[in-house]
Amino acid sequence: MKWRGQRESSNVEIGSSSGGRGGGLKMGLGGIVLVVILGLIMGKNPMEMLGLVAQMESSAPRAANTPADPNAPVTEEQQFSKVVLASTEDVWGRIFSASNQKYPPPTMVLFSGAVQSACGGATSAVGPFYCPGDQKVYLDTQFFDEMTAKLGGGGDFAQAYVIAHEVGHHIQTLTGVSEQVNKVRARGGTVEGDGGLLVRQELQADCYAGLWAHYAQQEKRWMEPGDLEEAINTAQAIGDDTLQRQSRGTVVPDSFSHGSAEQRMRWFRRGFDSGDLGQCDTFKAASL
């Protein structure tokens, strides 16, 4: 991908974590039960012990987003992410202005290890995510390395595709699509499953990533031979069925949330081939 020398977005925060990987002590229901049982065995008041644990939890080091050291050298990965984010601002800025609207771009937080967001704390294990609460795209810089190593995806265009997909979720927050899906979920409606609303939401973000790629190719001529295949391989590598096959050995369609690799590829291509926002209405599509 020929991205060097292009505009870099200023909507980027470099988050460094002081808590380290998975800092803090998380206690689920199982943990509470265990503490109560331990308390009973040891003849101590379980409530007292719980209080002690709660105290430990709150004093445990937490990941904090500290401002970046202005003198720290800018890594190539950061520079690349800023250029890609800037290009999504160009694409969406134009699409919004076509309907006389101003595009409020998201902020991108580049972190390594752990990070705090309005959606809670996250570690690298979560992968890239978008938080509607603070309208920020969170990218773990280690994720890209792991993506290349573990998933067989990787390469710069694949990384750009992941960024464009997360920005797609930002668009869905602006358009109200995410809220509608959340409302259905809040009412107790089913959003999971093959062909469910969550899959449609994810496939739409893939189609939006395709719109970005269309622009990157048509106007910027960023793509080099092999880039499209790279993006498609990534879509394939991070399709839910591939991930599930790797982790469980079998595919369980009911728990799909991102769509199959084939579906992800198809919707990405739809955005890429058409460059038309109207082609990305996965919610109206009879078949995905």
CB of 166 to Zn ion, least distance (A): 7
Is 8 or 206 the residue whose CB approaches Zn ion more closely?
206
Is 57 or 194 the residue whose CB approaches Zn ion more closely?
194
* Number of residues lying near Zn ion (CB under 5 A): 2
Binding mask 158-197 for Zn ion (x = CB under 5 A): ----------------------------------------
Is 122 or 205 the residue whose CB approaches Zn ion more closely?
205
CB 11 within 8 A of CB 81: no
CB of 62 to Zn ion, least distance (A): 26
Is 140 or 202 the residue whose CB approaches Zn ion more closely?
202
Is 68 or 191 the residue whose CB approaches Zn ion more closely?
191
In the chain, the amino acid numbered 269 is: R
CB of 205 to Zn ion, least distance (A): 5
CB of 60 to Zn ion, least distance (A): 30
Is 35 or 232 the residue whose CB approaches Zn ion more closely?
232
Q: Which token pair is 213?
A: 């790629």
CB of 23 to Zn ion, least distance (A): 26
CB of 103 to Zn ion, least distance (A): 20
C-alpha–C-alpha distance, residues 230 and 205, integer Å? 18
CB of 96 to Zn ion, least distance (A): 21
Is 16 or 172 the residue whose CB approaches Zn ion more closely?
172
192-251 binders of Zn ion (CB under 5 A): 202, 205
Please report, as ranges, the residues that interact with Zn ion according to CB under 5 A: 202, 205
